[in-house]
């Protein structure tokens, strides 16, 4: 696994999804270190002096994508507190920014054995750490993504998800609290109206004992879903959570 490195990058793109959800793309003249799907980076809005060795205040975000030449990475964030509010207000295209990566043990391939299914549970921007895993070539693991959103306008990575929907080993249940227009994605997709819930997820799984569950989203959601899965008989070591979230 690559050792964490400090990278001086610039903000290349900002994409707003509505309701204070944003995607940021960072570009660097040097290559970003290799990372495993599910790992995260540190982002700081403050000046950093490499000669001092002191890393300023920062926040962590899942690495959502990396370009083939490893000069660009992206993250997705929602405004939830003072720091992310400051990000929303101050980050501009062309702005220099310091990143530190990679970190984290939320690495799906490290927790899956041959023949096991990966049940991915994502709330909102919690889908970010799953995207690199879904985009890995030659992935033969049976994967079910359960993705909960307020409405379809907040669906991020629609293009990336559409590209894997026709794979035989992948299916997605999309839970929308508010439904109106048609979803543009197709393939192995089941759109459901209502909240993402453990009961609904388990009802769709035939071989629960041969599945490993991965949960990513707001901390309160992660805690609730972990408890409910264990109460439903899922062993704790078969529940992997995005602990830094």
pLDDT of amino acid 185: 52
pLDDT of amino acid 110: 94
Predicted structure pTM score: 0.91
Dig out the tokens for 231 from the structure: 């109460």
Bridging pattern class, strands 117-123 and 142-149: parallel
Residue 1 has pLDDT above 80, yes or no: no
Assigned fold of 5-103: Elongation Factor Tu (Ef-tu); domain 3 (2.40.30)
Find residue 173's DSSP bridge partners: 146, 190
187-213 pLDDT tens trace: 678 888 899 999 999 998 978 889 999
64-90 pLDDT tens trace: 999 999 999 999 999 999 999 999 999
- Residue ranges, comma separated, of all CATH 2.40.30.10 domains in the chain are 5-103
Of 22-36, 171-185, 206-220, minimum mean pLDDT range = 171-185
Report how far residue 37's alpha carbon sits from residue 39's, in angstroms, rounded to the nearest whole number.
6
Do you know the residue count of the chain?
245
- Residue ranges, comma separated, of all CATH 3.40.50.80 domains in the chain are 108-241
The 3-state DSSP class for residue 135 equals coil
Domain 108-241 matching CATH 1.10.3720.10: the answer reads no
Report how far residue 234's alpha carbon sits from residue 205's, in angstroms, rounded to the nearest whole number.
12
């Amino acid at each position: 696994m690559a050792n964490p490195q400090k990278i001086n990058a610039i903000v290349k793109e900002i994409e707003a999804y509505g309701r204070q959800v944003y995607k940021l793309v960072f570009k660097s003249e040097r290559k970003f270190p290799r990372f495993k799907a599910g790992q995260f980076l540190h982002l700081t809005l403050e000046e950093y002096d490499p000669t001092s060795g002191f890393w300023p205040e920062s926040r962590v975000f899942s690495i959502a994508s990396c370009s083939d030449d490893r000069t660009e990475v992206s993250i997705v964030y929602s405004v939830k507190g003072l720091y992310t509010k400051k990000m929303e207000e101050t980050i501009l295209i062309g702005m220099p920014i310091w990143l530190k990566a990679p970190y984290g043990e939320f690495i799906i391939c490290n927790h899956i054995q041959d023949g096991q299914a990966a049940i991915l549970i994502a709330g909102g921007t919690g889908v970010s750490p799953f995207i690199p895993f879904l985009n890995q070539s030659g992935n033969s693991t049976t994967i079910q993504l359960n993705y909960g959103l307020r409405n379809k306008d907040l669906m991020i990575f629609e293009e990336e998800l559409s590209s894997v929907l026709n794979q035989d080993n992948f299916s997605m249940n999309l839970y929308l609290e508010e439904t109106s227009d048609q979803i543009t994605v197709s393939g192995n997709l089941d759109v459901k109206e209502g909240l993402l819930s453990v009961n609904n997820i388990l009802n769709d799984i035939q071989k629960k004992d041969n599945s490993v569950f991965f949960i990513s989203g707001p901390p309160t959601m992660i805690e609730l879903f972990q408890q409910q899965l264990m109460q439903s008989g899922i062993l704790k070591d078969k529940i992997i959570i995005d602990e830094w979230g």
